[in-house]
Chains A and B, each alone.
Chain A
Amino acid sequence: MASATTVEPTRRDFLFIATGAVAAVGAAAVVWPLINQMSPDASTLALASTEVDIGAIPEGQIITIKWRGKPVFISHRTEKEIKEAEDVNIATLPDPQTDAARVQKPQWLIVIGVCTHLGCIPLGHQGEYGGWFCPCHGSVYDTSGRIRKGPAPRNLAVPQYTFLTDTKVKIG
């Protein structure tokens, strides 16, 4: 009975594997819509940009606007705030980034107002660096929205934006 085990695959083996493969692809094709339906829908994606008139924001003030259901901070920074943001030795930062890399025009800082820790909204002009302070778990951001202290891992995110005119900015 030496020939009882054969190395040569039989036609049955082939059919078995082929059927299994088709079934697996079919199952994946059915599962994907069930998973993907939870992703943002077309109407949510359609709200992806917003235009803001920033002409009325006085120096030293931060306004909050809503973009994609989230707050976006637009800070009209003072000379002092800009200088503080630029004078930092970035090697000492948890998430090193120069101020210039975070702004298009130094007097305007535009960041998403969501703490990178667990999503609370930080409070403006608070905390020891004069930027933002998150009341939930104590993260401190500087005048460039960079994380300086506390549990948040990253700087406040900078959204995509373009200056349409000197006083009009399009976010998204």
Chain B
Amino acid sequence: MHGHSTFEPKNGVVKWLEARLPILSFMHGSFVAYPTPKNLNYWWTFGAILSFMLIAQIVTGVVLTMHYTPESTLAFGSVEKIMRDVNWGWMLRYAHSNGASMFFFAVYIHIFRGIYYGSYKAPREVLWILGVIIFLLMMATGFMGYVLPWGQMSFWGATVITNLFSAIPFVGDEITVWLWGGYSVDNPTLNRFFALHYLLPFIIVAVVGLHVWALHVCGQNNPDGVEIKDIAKDTVPFTPHATMKDSLGIVFFLLLYCWFIFYVPNYLGDADNYIPANPMKTPPHIVPEWYFLPFYAILRSIPDKLMGVIAMFAAIAVLAFLPWLDTSKVRSAKYRPIYKIFFWIFVVCAVGLGYLGAMPPEGGFVLASRILAVAYFAFFLIVLPLLGLFEKTKPVPASIADAVLAKHGSASSVAASAASAPQTKG
């Protein structure tokens, strides 16, 4: 997909630089002349939205670091100082803490979009797996960031999550002590979490670089799931088309983000985290941040410790195998009527698990989480492999241009190609 750059420097300095480091033509080829499918919809703006959020998190995070103290007796106070004394500290912290939520919200939409349109299928398996790695890194970063304010939920969330490793047979307890740097979550734990919370976003930047690189090798998938055949007919240049569309997507996303920051900054948080960490008292109801709830529900749905932990990690790991679990040759759910139904059932299961993760682990909630956890895995391990064999798919358009014209084509020149799909339902 490279080599579409029409970049021809006129300026002497640019020519001089180009001969030594062709970075400008590389940027031009990747973000200006780069051909994007004509039929991309707004679900495709989430890549740009996520890039924006990553930068926003790094910028707000770096400035918060200038005021935060990663020491167990001072951390809570330093966060309160940020909220009360530091110039604009309240806004920066709310932007950062809500930014994490918005980041996850966007990444979930991005993942669901990929699943709906079959974006993980050949030749985009590596692109997809890199995405799963980014998701895992985000979860680690988000979790460690939540520990830093050293409130009750920070402390007990850290305790519960690090104790997951104690489920590992034979060496679990040793690993947990090693992770803590002591016999419980304490100052050494806070220090290393802070160091890693600062480090991981830059690792994410690097993996995002690989993700975008892999994307630009294979080219973008698109709502019709057919490959680009003719660059002139099927694509438009990234700039201005995708640039403008992405910008508009970011603006609308920012509206939501700002609504959270300025109107309900604590809505997604937990009141208990405004109580300083107390290692002698567990809050009556420990809940992780909302973006971990579906996985937390899976963990709790299984009455065995080790199996619960395995199931929780498997729920994430199974995503990496998606390219091989889905046996259908057709990419987009647009042309897979039965897959489309199962996809929406899967979305309901995932959201349902999120709801159950926030509920106390008793009675009907436990049973419901078991049913939904089974359904979650069934989607990947039973439905997807079998659907590819039995589903009768709809005819896929020959090219992106055909798909676009069939949808928007006037009765004139394209009537011939559109005639095969007359307006049956409007």
- The answer to whether A121 and B188 touch across the interface, beta carbons within 8 angstroms, is no
- CB interface residues, A 107-123, toward B, < 8 Å: 114, 116-121
B182 engages A44 (CB within 8 Å): yes
Q: Given that A38-B181, A44-B183, A151-B308 are known contacts, is A71 also in contact with B361, CB under 8 Å in the complex?
A: no
Best-surrounded residue of B188, B304, B305 (most CB of chain A within 10 A): B305
A69/B183 in contact, CB under 8 A: yes
Let me know if B188 and A44 touch, CB within 8 A: yes
Interface contact B284-A135, CB-CB below 8 Å: yes
Mark contacts of A61-78 with chain B using CB atoms, 8 A cut-off: 1 yes-contact digit, 0 otherwise: 000101011110000000
Question: How many A-B contacts are there with CB distance less than 8 Å?
Answer: 84
Q: Report if A39 contacts B (CB, 8 A).
A: yes
Contact yes or no, B181 A118, CB < 8 A = no
Q: Which residues of A contact B188 (CB under 8 A)?
A: 38, 40-41, 44
- Please tell me if A152 contacts chain B, counting CB pairs below 8 Å: yes
User: Is B160 an interface residue when CB atoms closer than 8 A count as contact?
Assistant: yes
Q: With a CB–CB cut-off of 8 A, which chain A residues contact B184?
A: 68-70, 114, 119
Known contacts: A69-B183, A120-B160. The answer to whether A39 contacts B282 by CB under 8 A is: no
Other-chain contact of A120, B166, B282, B308, B362 (Cβ < 8 Å): B282
Report Cα–Cα, A119/B306, bound state, in Å. Answer: 14
* CB 8 Å contact bits of B282-298 with A (1 = contact, 0 = none): 10111000000000000
Is B160 a contact of A40 with CB atoms below 8 Å? Answer: no
Q: Which of A64-101 contact B (CB under 8 A)?
A: 64, 66, 68-71
Near A by CB (< 8 A), chain B positions 265-319 give 279-282, 284-286, 300, 302-306, 308
Docked Cα-Cα span, A71 to B185, in Å, equals 12
- The answer to whether B156 touches A68, judged by C-beta atoms less than 8 angstroms apart, is no
The answer on a CB contact under 8 Å between A41 and B181 is yes
A39 in contact with B181 (CB, 8 Å): yes
Q: Which residues of the partner chain A approach B306 to less than 8 Å between Cβ atoms?
A: 153
Contact in complex: B181, A44 (CB < 8 Å): yes
Which of A40, A118, A138 touches B362 (beta carbons < 8 Å)? A138
Cα distance, A38 to B180, chains bound together (Å): 8
User: Which residue on chain B has the smallest CB distance to residue A120?
Assistant: B282
For chain A, which range describes its interface: under 10, 10 to 19, 20 to 34, or 35 or more residues? 20 to 34
Q: List residues 170-201 of chain B with CB under 8 A from any CB of chain A.
A: 177-186, 188, 192
Known A119-B160, A121-B282, A135-B282; contact A70-B305, beta-carbon cutoff 8 A: no
Bound complex: CA of A137 vs CA of B285, how far in Å?
Answer: 9
Residues of A within 8 A of B177 (CB): 39-40
Which residue, A38, A41, A152, has most C-beta atoms of chain B within 10 A?
A: A38
Bound form: Cα–Cα A64–B280 in Å: 8
Given the complex, which residues of B lie within 8 Å of A39, measured CB to CB? 177-178, 181
Q: In chain A, what residue has the closest Cβ to B160? A: A118
Interface residues of B in 139-193 (CB under 8 A from A): 156, 159-160, 162-164, 166, 177-186, 188, 192
A140 to chain B, nearest CB (A): 12
B143 nearest CB across to chain A (Å): 14
Q: Are A40 and B282 in contact (CB under 8 A)?
A: no
Q: In chain A, what residue has the closest Cβ to B309?
A: A118
Among candidates B164, B166, B281, residue contacting A121 with C-beta atoms closer than 8 Å = B281
In Å, the complex CA distance between A116 and B280 comes to 16
> In the complex, A117→B180 CA distance in Å?
17
Would you call A57 an interface residue if the criterion is a C-beta within 8 Å of the partner chain's C-beta atoms?
no
Kindly supply a per-residue 1/0 record for chain A positions 140-169, scoring 1 wherever the CB is within 8 Å of any chain B CB and 0 otherwise.
000000000011110000000000000000
Q: Are A66 and B305 in contact (CB under 8 A)?
A: no
Contacts of B181 in A (CB 8 A): 38-41, 44
Smallest CB–CB gap between B150 and chain A, Å?
A: 14
| Pair B279/A120 contact, Cβ less than 8 Å | no
For residue A136, CB closer than 8 A to chain B, the reply is yes
Q: Are B183 and A70 in contact (CB under 8 A)?
A: yes
Known: A117-B163, A118-B159. 18 other contacts (CB 8 A): A38-B192, A40-B181, A40-B183, A44-B181, A44-B183, A70-B184, A71-B280, A114-B184, A118-B305, A119-B163, A119-B184, A120-B156, A120-B159, A136-B156, A136-B282, A151-B304, A151-B305, A153-B304
Chain A positions near chain B (C-beta within 8 angstroms): 38-41, 44, 64, 66, 68-71, 114, 116-121, 135-138, 150-153
Query: Considering the complex of A and B, which 3 residue pairs feature the smallest CB-CB distances, nearest first?
Result: A68-B183, A69-B184, A119-B163
Chain B contacts to A: CB under 8 angstroms:
156, 159-160, 162-164, 166, 177-186, 188, 192, 279-282, 284-286, 300, 302-306, 308, 361-362
Can you give 15 A-B contacts (C-beta < 8 A)? Answer: A39-B177, A40-B181, A40-B188, A44-B181, A69-B279, A70-B184, A116-B305, A118-B164, A119-B163, A119-B184, A120-B159, A120-B286, A121-B282, A137-B361, A153-B305
